[in-house]
Amino acid sequence: MKKIIECVPNFSEGRDRSVIDAIAGAISSVAGIKLLNVDPGEAANRTVVTFVGEPEDVVEAAFRGSAKAQELIDMRRHHGNHPRSGAIDVLPLVPVAGVTLEECAVLARALAERMYRELGIPCYCYEAAAFRPERKNLALCRAGGYEALPEKFTDPVRRPDFCGEWDERAQRSGASQVGARDFLIAVNFNLDTTSVPGASAVACDVRESGRKGPDGRRIPGILKGCKAIGWYIEEYGIAQVSMNITDIAATPLHVAFETVCRAAAARGLRVTGTEIVGLVPKKVLLDAGRHFLGKLRRRTDVPEADILGMAVEGMGLDELRPFDPEERMIETLARI
């Protein structure tokens, strides 16, 4: 079986198309790489890039993309409403075919070491590539964002796994999170409000970590394997619940959607649509489509195109912009 891995780096530039294109071009310069998706977000000032290939090619493409991002992005001038700490903020390797998560973790650690050794980019290793148990959690690695890095560099416990001094080069690049993980769904649920506190309250209701209670103890949220925050997106004029579903077996996308709908309704709010960031496995949309067909008491043994169309309709995937399922399913684009 041919070995295939996916890489989904998030770069801290979502507004300057020339920078985004240069990074994508550096990635595509590696023979054997298939660039699947480039998804910039203006308000987040962040671009999610998705590409696949054989392990050695993917690692080389990730390195070249990182080198170009380091050259063109200065974190000292970066502003956006998404948590971030580096120009190459997160860089996960994902097993697709013929490769284990453990093998991806070994590759991720070697890539992080090379990024620091050759480019001087400080790196944390997270999720399956973490050197320490607490660093499996991306949020803990990135805690405090870019602004917290000067203090973290002086703390032996919180320093990046690969780093030197907080010098001008580190200040420019910030710190990257390089890791290995299974498939993740990045999704934003649109609300009929501009209230960030309202969106944040819904996010706390549903995310696995929940919220702190009056006594300081944590009250867990509803959804397993989900992280979420609330934010306002100026380009859309709405607040959203922004979510990462890290365990799509425990929490399918349509379950997350229905849960956010109920949590929002309990607070007098309404989910008006859904924005998927990047790509998703085909099964995610098929399962969602069958769910909504079932809710309408309609047959589910219908053509796939009808099932996918029901997923789009049921979750309002086309509310903010046209949504073509064929352009958002990793299997279709990668032809795997």
Query: What residues are labeled active site?
Result: 82
Coil, strand or helix at 71: helix
Which alpha helices (H) appear in 73-195, and where do they start and end?
A: 101-119, 138-141, 149-153, 168-173
Q: Taking Cα atoms as reference points, which of 129, 128, 127, 119 lies closest to residue 63?
A: 119
Coil, strand or helix at 151: helix
Which alpha helices (H) appear in 249-320, and where do they start and end?
A: 253-266, 282-295, 304-315
Coil, strand or helix at 236: coil
CB 292 within 8 A of CB 311: yes
| Strand ranges for 63-110 from DSSP E | 88-97
- Angle (CA) 209-211-215 rounded to 5° is 125
As a whole number of angstroms, the longest Cα–Cα distance in the chain is 62
CA distance 192 to 242: 14
What value does the CA radius of gyration of the chain take, rounded to a whole number of Å?
20
Per DSSP, the chain holds a count of helices (H) and strands (E) of: 11, 13
